[in-house]
Each structure stands twice: as C-alpha cells, then as structure tokens.
Amino acid sequence: MREITFVEAVNEALHEEMARDERVYIFGEDVRVGYGKGGPFGATNGLAARFGPERVIDTPISESAIAGTSVGAALWGMRPVAEIMFSDFLALAMDHIVNSAAKMRYAYAGEATVPVVFRMACGAGVGAALHHSQSPEAWITNVPGLKVVMPSTPADAKGLLKSAIRDDNPVVFFEHKFLYSRLREPVPEGEHLIPLGKADVKRSGEDLTIIAYGAMLQQAMRAADLLNQEGVKVEVLDPRTLVPLDRETILQSVKKTGKVIIVHEAPTFGGFGGEIAALIAEEAFYSLDAPIKRVGAPFTPVPASPILENFYLPNAEKIVKAAKEIME
C-alpha cells in the first residue's frame, strides 16, 4: 500500500468528498492559495484549481463569520467544511458552534440538521508559542450536540474526515499540526471510511493499557516499545472519536489488563482524560489492580522557548515513568 503524510491524507479526503458531493465546499482563511500551497499547511492544496472559487472560498480573518456562515449554509442543505486555521481561535467561533450548530437539531425536534465540519489544526511541538499551540478538545466535549474527532494516523485522518463530512451532525475535527508532514504511513486509496465513535486498539497487550490520541499516540507507541524491552506487554488504545466515546472498547481493554494510563497533550487538570478516568472508575473499578494514572501537560500556557516547550510536552519517557509506578 502506498504511504502518504497526514496532511496529504486530509487533502485526499477533501478532494474525494468534494468530487462525490457537490454540496460540499471549503470555507476559511487562505484556503485557496494561501502561503502558496492551500493554507499554511497545504491541507487544501489543489482544491481551488479543481473545484473553482464557488466551492473553495477564502474568507476575511473572522472565525466568528466563518462559523456562523457555515452553520447557516448547513441549515439550508449545503455541507460546508469550515476551516479554523488554528484551534486556539475556536474561542472566537464558540458562540456559533456551541449555541447554534450544537443545539439546532434538539431545538427543532430533529427536523433540522447541521451537517458542517469545523476543521482546525491543534497542538504544540512546532515552536508556535502560546496562542497557536493549544489542545482545546476539552473545551467542547462538554457540549451536547457536537461530535468531536481527533485522529492520530494518516489512514484514520482520511477515513474519519470522510465520515465526518457525510454525517448530518456538526463535527469538530482536530488535526494535530505536528503530525501533518512528520508522519507518513500507509493509507488506502479511494473509498475509505471509519465510523465515528469507534476506538482502535493499535497494539495488543495484557499487562497495561495506555489510552492516547492525537500526537500522543506516537509517544504511547514508543513507550510501549520501551516497556516491552522490560517484559511489560502494553495495549495501546486510540479513542479516535472523543464524542461519541467508544466506552465498550475502553472498558474491555481495562478489564483485560487491570492497569491504565491516559495520555493527552492538553493540561492534565480539566483535560478529557478525566472523563475517561471517571468512566473507568465508575464501570470497571473492581477490574483495576492499581490507581488510574494520567499523563498530560502542566497547568500553564504553552511556552515559546523550544527547551521549555519540550519540557512542557508529555513524552514516552514520562509515560514509562508512570507505567513503572503502576507496575510497582
């Protein structure tokens, strides 16, 4: 199977879905030819040349306008893919996403649908400092009516994005910018769909479960390799979709291993890992052989200094340290 990068997989999904359904269009800042390649990361590369200015629309620098216009278009039967260039600016679009998109179906007793995808680049590790490096997934997982997706591999990025675009509910789709060009893996050509709400066991084991998503999956896999050298068989589970959360797969894994570490890049305090930990404590408590461990960032803004940013980020070594504490 051919190998492509994470951002190429996103781009391929957009090309395929726009070709499949003329209601799909791209809406956001610099999505046509910004930075000479379709936005700062190249995710929309080639779309303007192929589909024209009526379906690949550059907008003013206003995340509120991008989100609000996209919600309105979705209500009228279009399937917009709205790009919020950096997830940090989700805050500027929050009212339209949280109070409009998320609530329309409920407010109209199921008669209205809002098939819009809000794509946004998230995460640290690229030296973008505190205003362009956050992982704000926990901000919106508390909002009923939204689906929240954060893929960790190129194949998952393609399959989940295609499913998100076809979904009749609003989807917030986080793409970790550190993975865009650094991660190259096999991706199926043509039709490749992954259902929203289905976790994936990336590595099987029986001694310890590590739950990780986004860029932290790579760190979890590396930690599993290090622990394997010491005889610890680690199961690595990627939720892929945070809302809806695949509770069954998570609980099955924890009941098998009896030990669990939850890893995410966002600060540990108030992070989504707390929700996963609560699920396990409530429904698999008597299967646990040790306390649940969480590995995340400290409760501080993302530093600008590369040295401090590296210190700030969770990594394989920190996961291994937590694993040894559990195993002991």
Task: Give the largest CA-CA distance in the chain.
Answer: 61
Tokens coding 122: 């998230």
Cα–Cα distance list, 59 to 8, 56, 86, 145, 214 (Å) = 23, 10, 15, 26, 28
At residue 110, what is the residue type? G
Cα–Cα distance list, 30 to 36, 59, 82, 240 (Å) = 9, 7, 12, 28
User: Which residues does 287 contact at the CB level (< 8 Å), separation at least 6?
Assistant: 254, 255, 258
Measured from the Cβ of residue 203, the count of other Cβ atoms closer than 10 Å reads 17
Tokens coding 206: 């029986």
184 alpha-carbon distance from chain centroid:
17
What whole-number distance in Å separates Cα of residue 160 and Cα of residue 240?
8
Q: Is 132 considered catalytic here? A: yes
What whole-number distance in Å separates Cα of residue 120 and Cα of residue 87?
5
Nearest to 79 by CA among 180, 213, 211, 169: 169
Catalytic pick from 96, 132, 192, 264?
A: 132
Upstream peptide bond of 244 is cis (omega within 30 degrees of 0): yes
What whole-number distance in Å separates Cα of residue 25 and Cα of residue 32?
12
User: Which residues does 290 contact at the CB level (< 8 Å), separation at least 6?
Assistant: 258, 259, 326, 327
280 alpha-carbon distance from chain centroid:
21
Q: Which residues are catalytic?
A: 132
